[in-house]
Amino acid sequence: MKITWKRCFTYKDACDYTGVIYLHEWDEKPFYWGKAHNSFFGGHQRKHNTNKMSGRYNSGYSHWIEGCLRHGASLYIGELDTEALNSINEVENYLMSTYASEMNKKKSIFKELNLLHEGEIPKSIIRYIN
């Protein structure tokens, strides 16, 4: 399974991603893991293929995300290959368990996954894979 990471510097950069894992990172440590699976990362409801999907963080959150990004936070979007996308819940649980964050409180039972990280890999992951 492969995740190709992209660092987003603005809310707008991240809005159109769907079928992804995302990481809000602060001080090069995971702050919050999430997924935009049957939704876009941001924006209002709009068409995607034959369905309509909403934004996980609709535009009402844009000021909050922009503020965090302008004052030290980082936002990474992880695009998943087909195998990883078909197991997105397991991938999210694995990342939350392997790279613990400050804000994800649920403790999930996860199965060991062999994930390949490519692209602009979050600094909180690089320290463990290098």
Determine the pLDDT at residue 4: 98
Determine the pLDDT at residue 6: 98
pLDDT digit string, tens, across residues 18-41? 999 999 999 999 999 999 988 888
In this prediction the pTM is 0.89
Q: Residue 109's pLDDT band (boundaries 50, 70, 90)? A: low
**In the predicted model, what is the mean pLDDT of the chain?**
89
Domain membership of residue 68 as a residue range: 2-127
- pLDDT above 90 for 127: no
Into how many domains does the chain fold? 1
The predicted model gives 1-24 an average pLDDT of 95
The predicted model gives 58-73 an average pLDDT of 90
- pLDDT above 90 for 65: yes
Determine the pLDDT at residue 108: 67
Determine the pLDDT at residue 7: 98
Determine the pLDDT at residue 129: 80
Tell me phi and psi for residue 30, to 5 degrees. -60, 130
